[in-house]
Amino acid sequence: MLPQCPFCKLPADRIIDHNDAGVAVRDAYPVSPGHTLIISSRHVSSLFELSTVERERLLSLVDRAKRALDEQYQPDAYNIGINDGIAAGQTVPHFHIHLIPRYKDDLPEPRGGVRWVIPKKANYWSK
């Protein structure tokens, strides 16, 4: 545990689910209703530092979070993302997965999804 890491010192009341590999919390700055983070228990910054077992257990938390979000928010779709490294936009250097519920008409044109991280290259279909 690192004292300066916000994910290493999460208050218990923020945790909505957990297992031996991680926890699920609602994002403090959600981009949509229900935006959830799945955070590794072990302080590592990259997916590639996790063991196969840790990855499997974290994905089981993603599955459980999705089922809960389906019940509570009834989204139409999901974006699932990992910002792995500073150049990829990672701002908290503790591994986490974004599970972002998406809703019909939440954007005028959702096509391309995660490709929009580099806007000039996202719209490949109209060229």
Q: Which residues are part of the catalytic machinery?
A: 96
Nearest CA to 81 out of 43, 37, 122 is that of 37
Q: How far is the C-alpha of 97 from the C-alpha of 75, rounded, in Å? A: 18
Nearest CA to 2 out of 49, 54, 42 is that of 42
3-state secondary structure of 117: helix
The sign of the torsion formed by the CA atoms of 53, 54, 55, 56 equals positive
